[in-house]
Structures are given as structure tokens and as C-alpha cells.
């Protein structure tokens, strides 16, 4: 079987980026939107074909094979070299489909949403650059290639968040996102260097094979503070994933990143880039699972569980609809992380892994839909805040219905995609870690509540006096909504356990009826509470939040994480460390150099009088010198 044509999937967006980026002034907006959509449409079709081809014929004796096409790029030693290439295996194929489908939908949608914007072509070139980087990331054959694309993804995310570069808040948000993720990526880089130094390879296949240095040899490796060096390496690599996936404590950039255009939030900060961390852990899953008895995997599980709970709590209190969705994203990614964290390796035991990938897939669909729906609402009322919205169901029927479908899906309402994937996650958590299970059930309830708080506030509630009567978005924006709404239902019926598993062997997964019943009833309770609070304008919710007082304020301010970071950076880093370092630099380092210069100048000032410019003085010194030399020579000669 030959999958070498998959290289085209990332190369088409790259070509688009070059064309649109280089000739952004010359290509009229009417062409660039279509060109971008067409290119991504081709990539999407190719990915679908790849998926079909791979999942139908990719098995050998019941095990999915991995196909690798690569080219050696940089050679350090015979064993340690950096390759560039494409890797075709179940998760990369699945991610190709996710990335290209959401990207294609976002391209179509942006034609309507960005209509009339000055940087229309520039916007599409950035989108293409992002799609290229993300596809390169998911198809990477080795850690280093992944790292390269990881950074490219970060850079294109920076460009897109800061797309409205005349707005100071957008510029600040872009910088914040870049710096926070960059800081986390430092851990990633150190992790890569550690692992590759001790195992002598970057290759994913070598790193995850049972006989490889990493898994077979961790017992013999050096240890540091009671843990194997490999565990430290994996935890540091996971730190990069924490940054990109906006897990605690590196989540602070994600809410601010909502300053970018809404289609960007849908593409990058909901469906694709933020799941890169999940993908990274899934990619190295055998290593996480086997090294040191899965200590690193425990870290993944708890970080995911805590992040999902904290983010769900914060989401309840926010008023900016995009920020609510941002925290919801963080919470759902926490779900995926904890599912990976509680997973085991073989067969049905590897349910968590499958559930995580399944949820990644369904989440990409319904969260992209939620963002695009929110974008449609923002497009209509020109505000991000819930207080400016209400009763929009009368004006925007398609947005209303699709948004409702997405909200039901994320709330885990039976029959929708989110219900199936969430159920698998809860089953996996229930079987392996009760504590995490209880917290995720709680999160399921909270998710349903804040999602329907959002839904009722936008589409029901008070009828506002709108300056311009809101109207339904154009067809270019509603078609992607309808497609994604379809996927938010149909996505759940894909038999994922047949396709994506930890040990590459398909297994049968069944709906666990009791657990599913518990989870969905918790979700429905959340929906009902939201219905009582927000269906009609009422003071009930205000009374309720007042009852919580301090705790409410604490959560409303996002647990003061931003303030904590500001304190650490401004007061401690800038105030003490940087201040004393700059004092040392100015006074000791610069001081010694400036001192040398000053001494030279002052000495020169003292002796420059010797250069009098008087010819006869020079002649005098010349003759005098000769006389002295002659006397010395005579003296020596005489003796």
C-alpha cells in the first residue's frame, strides 16, 4: 500500500500560504477566499480518501500498520539524525481528517465573516499557514519534526490572534499567548534533548516500540530525585503539551486569545491547535504508560482532571460568550487528558486512550460549531457580552438550531456525539480511578449548566432593543454551521474502537448503560437548573451568586491566576531579579568597559600636547634622540 500521496495534504496549504502571502496586495478578495477554500477542500477530500483507504486496508493480521515516508535532513551521528516525512497511522489519519475538515469549514465561514475586511487576503494566507503547520505537526515522524511544526503552529497562532493589530488588547493577547506557550515549550525542548540524549533517537517508532531504549531500558537509566531520567524527560515534554493545550497552570493565554477573529478561535483555540498536547501524549502513549510504572501518565491524569474542574467552575461565572467557550474548551481538553491518564494499554483496557481520541474528534466538531455559532451571533449584534443579547432565536433560526445541537452534544445529551465520547471517558475513569471519576461527573453537570446558561441568555431571555435588527448570517456562514451540526450528531455513531486504539488492535466497545444514565441525568439536571435560572429574565441567578459571595468573586476573577502571574513576573522577576541584574550589568560589566575608555581618553588628553605641530620641535626631538642613541652606542663601543 502506498500512502506517499498524503504529503500533498500539508503541501497544498503551504502553496496557498505562499501564493496568498506573497501576492496579498495583488489578489482581489473575491478570489483569495475561494482559492483558500478550494485548496483546503482538496486537502479535506484527500484526507477523507486517506482515512477510507487506511481504515479499510491498513490492517495486517488485525493490527493497524504504520506507514512512514521520510527523508534524512540533519545528521548528528549515525543513530541520531533528524528526518522529515509523513507518518500514517490511526491517530495521524484521524487528526488529518479533523484538521482539514474544521479548517475547510472555517475557510468557508470566513468568506462571510471577514467580508469587507481590509486584510482579507492576509487572513486567508495566515489560515493556510496554520493549516500547513498543524498538518505537519500531526504527520511528524519524529519528536524533532513535531517540535519544529509545534513552534510554527505557535507562530501562526500569534499572527492570527494579533490579526487586528491596531487593537492594543489583541496585540497584548498575541504576545501573551506566544510567551506563555514559548515558556512551556522550553520544557518540551529540554525533554526532547534529555530523551534523545539517553536513547539516541528522535523517532516515534523507536521511542514507542516495546524493544526500544526508552521502554525496555528505563530501568537501567540514570535516576534523578527518585524518578528515572526518562520520566523526567516525559514530564518535561508534557509541559510543552500543557502549554499548548492550555492546562493548569499555563492556561492563562487561552481566554485572552479570544481577541482574534472568531473563525480563528474556532479553528485554533477550539478544534485543532489546543489539542496538540493531547495528541502529543497519545503519540508517545506507550512511553508514558510503560516508563516508571506510568508515573508520567499519572501526572497527565491529575493535571487534566484539575484543569477540567477549575475551567468548568470559571466558565459558569463569565459573561463574555467567547470566554465562556474558551474555558469550556480548556475543560473539555482536561477531559481528554484525564482519559489518556487513566488508560491502560492492551485491548479493552485501553479504553481511555480510545475515548480520548474519540472525544477529541467529537469535541472538534461541536466546539468549532459553538464558536462559529457564537461568531454568527457576534456578527449580528456586534458585541461579545451576554447582556447585549437575548431572544435571538426569532432573528437567527439556523444559528439557533445548530447552536442548540452543539450545546446538547457538549452537555452529553443522549443521542448526540458528545454523549458517546463522554460516556467512554467516564467508563474508563470509573474503572481506573474513582476520584477522577467523581470529579468528571461533576464537570459533566457543570458543563451542561454553563452551556445552557449561555444558550438561554443568547437565544431566550429578555428581548433587547437592538439598534440594528439582528438578521440571519449569509449562506457562506450557515452552511458550515449545518455541516458541523450534522457531524455533532453523526460523529458519535462512528465505531471509534474499531479504528483508534492504544495497541493498534481493534476491540469492541459497548455503551455502559448505568454510567451513561448517571452522566446524562447529571447533565440534564444542569440543563434544568439553567432553564429555571435563565429561560425567563429573573433575579434568581443573581441571588444565587450573591449567596456565594467571596467564593463567587474568587471564581469570577479566574482564581486570580492572572494576578498571580503578574505578581511573579512584575514584582519578583522584573522588580527584584531583573532590577539587580541590570544594576550589575550597568555598573560592573558596563562600568569596567567604560572605565577603560575613560582612562584612555584622559591619558590622551594629557599627552596630546606633544603633537605641537611645530616642525622645529619635531626636528629637535629627532636630533636629540639621535644624540642620545649615539651616546649610548659610543658608551657600549668604548667598553
Q: Which one of 266-274, 390-398, 509-517, 614-622 is the stretch in contact with other proteins (CB under 8 A)?
A: 614-622
| 611 lies in the binding site for other proteins (CB under 8 A) | yes
Query: Which CB atom, from 225 or from 610, has the smaller least distance to other proteins?
Result: 610
Stretch that binds other proteins, among 272-280, 488-496, 561-569, 612-620 (CB under 8 A): 612-620
- Distance, in Å, from the CA atom of 124 to the CA atom of 104, rounded to the nearest integer, reads 11
Which residue number, 594 or 620, has a Cβ lying nearer to other proteins? Answer: 620
Binding mask 532-561 toward other proteins (x if CB under 8 A, else -) reads ------------------------------
Nearer to other proteins, 116 or 613 (CB): 613
Q: Which of 220, 549, 608, 637 binds other proteins (CB under 8 A)?
A: 608
Q: What is the largest CA-CA distance in the chain?
A: 123
Binding segment for other proteins (CB under 8 A), chosen from 165-173, 425-433, 462-470, 615-623, is 615-623
In the shown chain, the binding pattern of residues 561 to 600 toward other proteins, with x for contact by CB under 8 A and - for none, equals ----------------------------------------
Nearer to other proteins, 57 or 617 (CB): 617
Nearer CB in complex with other proteins: 532/623:
623
What does each C-alpha distance from 239 to 234, 299, 445, 466 come to in angstroms? 9, 10, 29, 46
Indicate whether 186 belongs to the interface with other proteins (CB under 8 A). no
Neighbours of 29 (CB within 10 A): 18
Q: Mark the segment that binds other proteins (CB under 8 A) among 303-311, 328-336, 413-421, 611-619.
A: 611-619
**Contact yes or no for 298/200 (Cβ under 8 A):** no
- Residue closer to other proteins by CB (options 573, 603) is 603
| Closest CB to other proteins among residues 183, 618 | 618
Number of Cβ within 10 Å of residue 533's Cβ equals 20
Pick the stretch among 7-15, 310-318, 503-511, 604-612 that binds other proteins (CB under 8 A): 604-612
**602 scored as a contact of other proteins (CB under 8 A):** no
Stretch that binds other proteins, among 202-210, 289-297, 480-488, 619-627 (CB under 8 A): 619-627
Q: How far apart are CA 382 and CA 403, in angstroms?
A: 18
Minimum Å gap between C-beta 582 and other proteins is 38
We find the least distance from the C-beta atom of residue 622 to other proteins, in angstroms, to be 11
**Position 623 contacts other proteins (CB under 8 A):** yes
Nearer to other proteins, 569 or 621 (CB): 621
Closest to other proteins by CB, 25 vs 608, is: 608
CA distance 445 to 441: 6
CB 175 within 8 A of CB 224: no
Instruction: Work out which of 616, 635, 637, 638 binds other proteins, going by CB under 8 A.
Output: 616
Q: Answer for the pair 184, 244: CB distance below 8 angstroms, yes or no.
A: yes
| DSSP β-bridge partners for residue 72 | 83
- The residue written with cell numbers 491524569 in the block is 301
> If we measure between CA atoms, which residue out of 236, 344, 237, 333 comes closest to residue 294?
344
Tell me the closest approach of the beta carbon of residue 620 to other proteins, in angstroms: 6
Residue 614 makes contact with other proteins by CB under 8 A? yes
Say which residues have a Cβ less than 8 Å from residue 7's Cβ, sequence separation at least 6: 69, 86
Collapsed DSSP state (helix, strand, coil) of residue 125: helix
Minimum Å gap between C-beta 629 and other proteins is 16
- Residues in the chain, how many? 639
| Other residues' Cβ atoms within 10 Å of the Cβ of residue 243 | 27
Cα–Cα distance measured from residue 137 to residue 87, given in angstroms and rounded to the nearest whole number: 10
Work out whether 621 is an interface residue with other proteins (CB under 8 A): no
225, 513, 615, 636: which one binds other proteins (CB under 8 A): 615
Q: Residue 31 or residue 620: which is nearer to other proteins going by CB?
A: 620
Q: How far is CA 85 from the centre of its chain?
A: 22
Q: Give min distance, CB of 587 to other proteins, in A.
A: 33
Nearer to other proteins, 319 or 612 (CB): 612
Beta carbon nearer to other proteins, 537 or 624: 624
Residues in binding contact with other proteins, number by CB under 8 A? 10
Closest to 236 (Cα-Cα) out of 300, 294, 331, 176: 300
Contact with other proteins (CB under 8 A) among 550, 613, 636, 639:
613
Q: How far is the CB of 617 from other proteins (least distance, A)?
A: 9
162 φ, ψ (degrees, to nearest 5): -90, 25
Q: Which of these, 534, 383, 393, lies nearest to 457 by C-alpha position?
A: 534
Residue 636 CB, shortest distance to other proteins, in Å, is 23
User: Which residue number, 30 or 621, has a Cβ lying nearer to other proteins?
Assistant: 621
Query: Are the C-beta atoms of residues 202 and 153 closer than 8 Å to each other?
Result: no
Q: Identify whether the C-beta of residue 238 lies closer than 8 Å to the C-beta of residue 281.
A: yes
Buried b (16+ CB within 10 A) or exposed e, 485-519: bebbbebbebebbebbbbbbebbebeebeebbebb
- 77 belongs to the binding site for other proteins (CB under 8 A): no
Q: Least separation, in Å, of the C-beta of 614 and other proteins?
A: 5
607 in contact with other proteins (CB under 8 A): no
Choice from 576, 619, 631, 633 touching other proteins (CB under 8 A): 619
Closer residue to other proteins, CB minimum distance, 435 or 627:
627
Q: Which of 435, 577, 581, 620 binds other proteins (CB under 8 A)?
A: 620
- Let me know: does 354 contact 298? Beta carbons within 8 Å: no
Closest of 195, 174, 291 to residue 240, by C-alpha:
195
x/- letters, 511..530, toward other proteins (CB under 8 A): --------------------
H helical segments located in 114-142? 120-138
Q: Tell whether residue 469 is a contact of other proteins (CB under 8 A).
A: no
How far, CA to CA in Å, does 128 sit from each of 83, 92, 478, 561?
24, 19, 21, 33
Is residue 612 at the binding interface for other proteins, with CB under 8 A as the rule?
Answer: yes
State the minimum distance, in angstroms, from the CB of residue 628 to other proteins.
15
Taking Cα atoms as reference points, which of 92, 44, 42, 84 lies closest to residue 67? 92
**Residue 30 lies near other proteins (rule: CB under 8 A):** no
Q: Which is nearer to other proteins, 532 or 630 (by Cβ)?
A: 630
How distant, in Å, are the alpha carbons of 7, 147, 184, 278, 537 from that of 104? 18, 25, 29, 22, 38
Q: Which is nearer to other proteins, 186 or 623 (CB)?
A: 623
Query: What single string gives the DSSP state of each residue in 319-372?
Result: -BHHHHHHHHHHHHHHHHHHHHHT--SSGGGGHHHHHHHHHHHHHHHHHHHHHH
Residues near other proteins, by CB under 8 A: 608, 611-616, 619-620, 623
Amino acid at each position: 500500500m502506498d500512502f506517499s500521496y498524503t504529503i500533498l495534504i500539508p503541501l497544498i496549504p503551504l502553496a496557498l500560504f505562499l501564493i496568498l502571502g506573497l501576492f496579498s496586495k495583488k489578489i482581489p478578495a473575491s478570489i483569495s477566499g475561494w482559492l483558500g477554500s478550494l485548496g483546503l477542500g482538496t486537502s479535506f477530500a484527500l484526507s477523507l480518501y486517506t482515512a477510507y483507504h487506511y481504515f479499510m486496508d491498513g490492517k495486517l493480521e488485525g493490527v493497524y500498520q504504520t506507514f512512514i515516508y521520510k527523508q534524512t535532513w540533519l545528521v548528528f551521528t549515525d543513530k541520531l539524525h533528524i528526518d522529515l516525512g509523513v507518518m500514517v497511522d490511526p491517530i495521524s489519519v484521524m487528526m488529518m481528517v479533523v484538521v482539514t475538515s474544521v479548517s475547510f469549514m472555517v475557510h468557508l465561514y470566513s468568506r462571510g465573516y471577514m467580508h469587507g475586511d481590509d486584510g482579507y487576503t492576509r487572513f486567508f494566507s495566515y489560515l493556510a499557514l496554520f493549516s500547513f503547520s498543524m498538518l505537519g505537526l500531526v504527520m511528524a515522524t519524529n519528536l524533532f519534526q513535531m517540535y519544529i511544526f509545534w513552534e510554527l503552529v505557535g507562530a501562526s497562532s500569534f499572527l492570527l490572534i494579533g490579526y487586528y493589530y491596531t487593537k492594543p488588547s489583541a496585540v497584548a493577547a498575541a504576545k501573551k499567548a506566544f510567551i506563555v506557550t514559548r515558556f512551556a515549550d522550553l520544557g518540551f525542548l529540554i525533554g526532547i534533548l534529555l530523551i534523545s540524549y539517553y536513547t539516541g533517537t528522535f523517532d516515534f517508532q523507536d521511542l514507542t516500540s516495546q524493544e526500544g531504549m526508552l521502554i525496555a531500558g528505563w530501568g537501567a537509566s540514570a535516576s534523578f530525585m527518585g524518578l528515572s531520567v526518562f520520566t523526567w524527560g516525559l514530564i518535561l515534554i508534557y509541559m510543552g503539551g500543557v502549554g499548548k493545550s492550555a492546562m493548569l497552570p499555563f492556561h492563562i493565554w487561552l481566554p485572552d486569545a479570544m481577541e482574534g477573529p472568531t473563525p480563528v478561535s474556532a479553528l485554533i483555540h477550539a478544534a485543532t491547535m489546543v489539542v496538540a498536547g493531547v495528541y502529543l501524549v497519545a503519540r508517545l502513549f506507550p512511553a508514558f504508560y510503560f516508563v516508571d510504572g506510568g508515573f508520567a501518565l499519572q501526572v497527565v491524569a491529575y493535571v487534566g482532571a484539575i484543569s477540567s474542574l477549575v475551567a468548568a467552575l470559571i466558565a459558569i461565572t463569565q459573561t463574555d460568550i467567547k470566554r465562556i467557550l474558551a474555558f469550556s474548551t480548556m475543560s473539555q481538553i482536561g477531559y481528554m487528558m484525564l482519559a489518556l491518564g487513566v488508560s491502560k494499554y492492551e485491548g479493552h483496557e485501553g479504553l481511555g486512550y480510545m475515548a480520548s481520541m474519540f472525544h477529541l474528534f467529537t469535541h472538534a466538531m461541536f466546539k468549532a460549531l459553538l464558536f462559529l455559532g457564537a461568531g454568527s451571533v457576534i456578527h449580528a449584534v456586534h458585541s461579545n457580552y451576554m447582556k447585549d443579547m437575548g431572544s435571538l432565536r426569532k432573528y437567527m433560526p439556523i444559528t439557533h438550531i445548530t447552536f442548540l445541537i452543539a450545546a446538547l452534544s457538549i452537555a452529553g445529551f443522549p443521542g448526540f456525539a458528545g454523549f458517546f465520547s463522554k460516556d467512554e471517558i467516564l467508563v474508563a475513569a470509573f474503572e481506573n480511578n474513582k476520584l477522577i471519576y467523581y470529579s468528571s461527573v461533576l464537570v459533566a453537570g457543570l458543563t451542561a449548566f454553563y452551556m445552557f446558561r449561555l444558550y438561554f441568555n443568547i437565544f431566550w431571555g429578555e428581548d433587547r432593543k437592538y439598534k440594528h435588527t439582528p438578521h440571519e448570517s449569509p449562506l457562506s456562514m450557515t452552511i458550515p454551521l449545518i455541516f458541523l451540526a450534522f457531524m455533532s450528531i453523526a460523529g458519535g455513531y462512528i465505531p471509534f474502537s474499531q479504528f483508534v486504539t492504544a495497541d493498534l488492535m481493534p476491540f469492541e466497545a459497548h455503551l455502559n448503560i448505568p454510567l451513561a444514565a448517571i452522566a446524562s441525568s447529571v447533565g440534564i439536571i444542569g440543563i434544568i437548573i439553567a432553564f429555571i435560572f435563565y429561560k425567563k429574565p429573573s433575579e434568581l441567578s443573581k441571588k444565587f451568586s450573591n449567596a456565594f459571595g467571596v467564593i463567587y468573586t474568587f471564581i469570577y476573577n479566574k482564581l486570580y491566576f492572572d494576578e498571580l502571574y503578574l505578581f511573579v513576573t512584575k514584582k519578583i522577576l522584573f522588580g527584584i531579579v531583573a532590577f539587580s541584574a541590570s544594576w550589575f550589568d550597568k555598573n560592573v560589566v558596563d562600568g569596567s568597559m567604560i572605565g577603560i575608555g575613560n582612562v584612555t581618553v584622559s591619558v590622551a588628553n594629557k599627552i596630546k600636547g606633544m603633537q605641537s605641530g611645530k616642525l622645529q620641535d619635531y626636528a629637535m626631538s629627532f636630533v636629540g634622540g639621535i644624540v642620545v642613541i649615539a651616546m649610548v652606542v659610543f658608551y657600549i663601543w668604548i667598553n
